Amino acid sequence: MFELSSPALSSEKARLLLRRLRDLNLNAGPVAVTRAIGVVFAGCTSLDGPAEAGVRYRLRHSDGSEGLLEIGWRDSNLELALEGAASAEKRVIAVPVTCDRKGRACARRIGARITPESTNRRELEHFLRRIVRSICR
């Protein structure tokens, strides 16, 4: 029998994933968004707060401007917001997250998948880079 829909990621696993992304505290490493647009992580600004309140990363764009990326969780969606980038408006994207048979969080809209319990820095960084590419386009 085939599953037609995947179950949504539980709030507990979503909180764990947010904590892992916060604790990663990526503060260097370029992300190529497009050929002309690049972004560099300038550190997590929400290290002393609960991850449930959102994880915030400062980003430096290739044109010299700075932005603030916020990653939150609401209603089975990753809520992504980018403020202060080259454009004056705030960009917000809701990314539905489901759970596959192996228990991984799957965000098809951004082409990313991760095990919420992962402590693998490379895997967490890859997921975070997918988030940045999707919100900065």
User: Is 3 inside any structural domain?
Assistant: no
Among 110, 109, 104, which Cα is nearest to 131's? 110
pLDDT tens, residue by residue, 112-121: 999 999 999 9
In a domain, 6, yes or no: no
Give the per-residue pLDDT at 15. 96
Within a domain: residue 117?
yes
Q: Would you say residue 63 lies in a domain?
A: yes
User: In one letter, which amino acid is 112?
Assistant: A
Q: Is residue 37 part of a domain?
A: yes
| Polymer length of the chain | 137
* pLDDT confidence of residue 87: 60
What is the number of other CB atoms lying within 10 angstroms of the CB of residue 121? 12
- What is the span of the domain harbouring residue 74? 11-136
**pLDDT, position 63:** 86
Domain membership flag for residue 86:
yes
Does some domain include residue 1? no
User: For 62-120, what is each residue's pLDDT tens digit?
Assistant: 888 899 999 999 999 999 999 986 566 789 999 999 999 899 999 999 999 999 999 99
The predicted structure's pLDDT at residue 45: 95
Can you tell me the distance from the alpha carbon of 7 to that of 26, in angstroms, rounded to the nearest whole number? Answer: 30
Look at the chain and report how many structural domains it folds into.
1
The string of pLDDT tens digits covering residues 10-48 is: 999 999 999 999 999 988 778 999 888 899 999 999 999
Cα(first)–Cα(last) distance of the chain, in Å? 39
Q: Residue 4 domain-assigned?
A: no
What is the Cα–Cα distance from 2 to 91, expressed in whole angstroms? 37
For 121-135, write each residue's pLDDT tens digit.
Answer: 999 999 999 999 999
